[in-house]
Amino acid sequence: MNEVGQEKPREIPWRLVGVAVVAVVITVFVVQNWEKTTVEFLSFDINSQLSLSLIVAILFGVALDRLVIGLNRRRRR
């Protein structure tokens, strides 16, 4: 039984910890890859920093993940 004045131990927010770890790993990866490079997409050649290309690729990946998850949820209903 819980007595008055006793606090319940706080649970660790594992999802938040996971997001923080992934954010730190991505940040370190991007900072370590700061040099200029040529990125080819279809018929376009773009000179940009590799880190910017990585950020764009990560954002496209997240957007695609959200799209697929949203479509799966809609299909289940």
Which amino acid, 13?
Answer: P
CB under 8 Å to 33, separation ≥6 — which residues? 50, 51, 54
pLDDT tens readout for residues 14-60:
889 999 998 999 888 878 888 888 888 888 888 888 888 888 888 99
Q: What's the pTM?
A: 0.56
Q: Is 80 exceeded by the pLDDT of residue 6?
A: no
4 pLDDT band, cuts 50/70/90, is: low
Q: Is the pLDDT of residue 63 over 90?
A: yes
SS3 annotation, 4-67: CCCCCCCCCCHHHHHHHHHHHHHHHHHHHCCCEEEEEECCEEEEEEHHHHHHHHHHHHHHHHHH
